[in-house]
Structure 1
Amino acid sequence: MRKLAGLLLLIVTGMHVMAQTPFSNENKIYQPQVQTVMCYNEQKEQSIPVISLKSAEKLHFSFDDLEGGSKNYWYTIVHHSSDWQPSGLSPIEYLESFSEDRIVDYDYSSNTLQKYTHYSLSLPNQQISPKISGNYLLKVYLDGDLNKPVISQRFYVTDNRLNVGMEVLPSMQVPLRSTNQKINVSLFNTGNIQNPAADVKVVVMQNQIPYAAVTTKKPSAIKPGELAYKDPFTNDFAAGNEFRKFDIRSLRVKGAQVQDIQLDSINRVTLFPDLPTTGRYVRTFDENGNFFIRNQDGRDEQTESDYANVTFQLDLRQGLTNNAVYVVGRFNNYILAPAFQLQDRSGNNKYQLTLKLKQGVYDYKYVLKDLQSGAVDETTLEGSFFETDNSYQVFVYYKKPGSRWEELIGYSQTSR
């Protein structure tokens, strides 16, 4: 009876789920009281949110609601194409059982100045489970109403039917050899793919950064059982510099990069002023943009870690012309939104921004955005050096002739 009810629910709610909603197709938080969204493969904290189809692997998804109490949060997942457009499939075509469910696991914070409720979810589960591979968007909404968006979160389900080889080399373009990293990709066991230029897409991403992704459709070489993507001018990335980082695991003792801590009705943390690092490679250990919730003042990291108003400071020594400066990292999904833009309020080229962040260790960097063209510049303030350690992700998509959707048939990750 439960399976029959699930089938009927898929049919009845199919049009409801696919209807136009105010959700975007990117990692995004829609409500200001929602903070610290995390999504990763449970096998490794803060790993890429990739799981294998019909395996024991699961995704961990969680977030905090700073208004506290308990709320009626619901969720669904929607299948997408390789370029993150809805694939147009009905939920019954890509989901087992139900098409939406309520988030029922939550805990209240304790021993913190900032009260909040911590919600968590594990996918797949008995209520919602994907049955085909591909890109998926997790949608969280209030009171079962898709017109009340809370969070959208990308994740991947892969059906690994081929092997992916990767190598990181200096750029093959002579002027860029000291600043760029070139990613060569080889696909093996590709005998069943008859028309790779039309049916296969290879997406290479640097450090999980959405706007640092390159899509290649045409292989540079085709061999029996192998496709090579080694064109000299593709998958060539500015290497950047190592990420900056700060440590607020304790709000009693100053951690790395912390200049001052003030404890009052709310915790306030001021970071030391940053300077541009354009002319030098900074040899430090980083987490390639990740952040980790940690707490040295309490026991439970998820519910006893407090929040603090963290002030970033950037001393540019000169003004910006037709550019805006942002602080980015995985903690804010690298989004160049007004909430993450630094401002020169004193008029002396000293830019500041205050963000509410949970206790832990954070990687971050500064990027510029051209106010006219919208172009993103990651190197003017940070520099770019081949020696930089970066992680690279490769996603391989395949659309069978006559099929209506793209499958994710290969995934791999490597670091330089």
Structure 2
Amino acid sequence: MKRKRSIITLGLVCITLSVCAQVNVSFVDNIRTIQVQVNGKWGEPPVMLLGSGQYVDISFDDLQHNYVRYTYRITHCNADWEPSQLYTGDYMTGINGSTLIDTYEQSVNTEMLYNHYSFRLPNNNHRLLLSGNYKVDIYEEDDDEDPAATVFFSIIEPVVGIDMKISANTDIDTYQSHQQVEFNINYQTLTTSNPESELIPVVMQNHRWDNKVTNLKPSYLRPNQLVFNHNRSLIFDAGSEFRRFEILNEYVPTMRVDKIKYEEPYYHAYVFEDLPIKSYKYDQDQNGRFLIRNSDDYANDTESDYFITHFVLKSPQLADGDLYLYGDLTFNMFWDDNRMEYNPNDHQYEISIPLKQGSYNYQYLFVPNGTGTGKTGPTEGNFFETENEYSVYVYHRPFGSRYDKLVGFKNIKYKE
């Protein structure tokens, strides 16, 4: 497969890596299926407890198939995912050069050949010493300037408590199309001279980067508590449950797959045609995630094949913006590789991408021209019943500090 740099665009808006923080992303076509898991727990946010013995597993596939030596480099980041002012020795042991990823396996009995690479942190080379955000850049050994991929995770030292609730009774509508987050930060065990300025909360919906909320100011203060109530910036479009499908077998279509065909040299999977969603329907989705597995549930990392997967959304063409296939399957990004093309003859949006066998969540998000935020309304609808997942990260930056500590984290779903 030809290797090329992907151009990340949003109309005329260029995305910087710090804006895309917490998005595991490949910058080349041949790197696919990036996964980051803490303690082997699928579907959980990548947050480790400092000094707990927990670990993070990082893996990816290289569709070049021929062996390439990959290395990684670790950077400590602040709440905004810009590099902190720390020296390497402040936040980790070992030399933070280009560390070789020496665990890899070739695919077995697959039409699309690939190598599966994996490594774990901490390891014998590196032990992480501080809480906060961590970025891991992955490089081809002969190119240590431009990363082939980047992954993210966080380490927490829990010092503050977070009380959090989600309501569909919002400050702009009542049980209609929005959900509102309210939370308190309890800091009685934290040493701080100015909690209002030193504590930095970040709020996310379904681990999306594009509509995350930062620069929050508390509504009011109580003794040892910051209260964030009735804040309109914490009102989110409710959206709908993620659409789902499975590719498990080379011969038999599985959930929401219309047909499987072998078109030399690869298998092709055709997802049933979609329509814009007009009313709420409950489905037990995974809020945009994917799970790699095959019908035998055996050697999933190396014996699961890649299928060219075809998506169609029957819809009139949407004006003044672009439509994107969205979810972990496209790195939660709006870029050229997952922008859908409109077919005026068949009155539908279309896209085809290679996906590894497994179970997938996805949505179609509309991005108005000149913006960087995906909208669910035109294609997915907005329904207050939707079981969205919300995360609050709380960072602490004392006056004069050179980095942001992660001192609080809470992750809940609406209706929990």
2:369 aligned to which of 361, 368, 371: 371
**CA–CA separation in structure 2 for the residues paired with 1:116 and 1:218:** 48
Residue 131 of structure 1 pairs with residue 129 of structure 2: yes
Find the partner of 2:44 among 29, 43, 47: 47
Show the counterpart of 1:35. Answer: 32
- Cα gap change, 1:298 to 1:304, in 2 (>3 Å): farther
Q: How does 1:2-41 map to 2 (within 5 A)?
A: 24-25=17-18, 26=20, 27-41=24-38
CA deviations on 1:334-393 (whole Å, 9 max, x unpaired) are 101111011123534211100000000000000111224455322221111111011111
One-letter amino acid of the counterpart of residue 268, structure 1: H
Q: 1:12-411 alignment to 2 at 5 Å?
A: 24-25=17-18, 26=20, 27-100=24-97, 101-143=99-141, 145-175=143-173, 177-191=175-189, 192-264=191-263, 265-277=265-277, 279-297=278-296, 299-316=298-315, 318-411=316-409
Moved over 3 A (4+): 23-27, 345-348, 372-375
Letter in 2 for 1:229: F
Q: CA deviation at 1:153?
A: 1.2
Distance in 1 between the 2:131 and 2:123 partners?
Answer: 16
TM-score under structure 1 length normalisation: 0.90
Distance apart, 1:81 and its partner CA: 1.5
Q: Distance in 1 between matches of 2:234 and 2:43?
A: 24
Work out the number of aligned pairs and report it.
Answer: 393
Identity across matched positions, percent:
30
1:218: Cα distance to partner?
2.1
Gaps of at least 5 residues in structure 2 are 1-15
The AA in structure 1 aligned to 2:127 is S
Answer yes or no: is the 8 Å Cα contact 2:219–2:231 preserved in 1. Answer: no
The structure with higher relative contact order (CA 8 Å, sep 6+) is: 2
Q: Which runs of 5+ in 1 are unaligned?
A: 1-22
Aligned 8 A contact 1:171 1:236 in 2 = no
Q: TM-score, normalised by structure 2?
A: 0.90
Moved more, 292-301 or 400-409: 292-301
**CA distance in 2 between partners of 1:398 and 1:369 (Å):** 33
C-alpha displacement at 1:298, in angstroms?
Answer: 6.2
Letter in 2 for 1:199: E
State whether residues 240 and 384 of structure 1, in contact with CA within 8 Å, keep that contact through their aligned partners in structure 2. yes
Q: Is the contact made by 1:293 and 1:361 (CA closer than 8 Å) also made in structure 2? A: yes
Write the letter of the residue equivalent to 1:391: E
TM-aligned CA deviation for residue 43 of structure 1: 4.1
Matched residue SS, 1:331: helix
Superposed CA RMSD: 1.8
Structure 2 contact 309–353 (Cα < 8 Å) conserved: yes
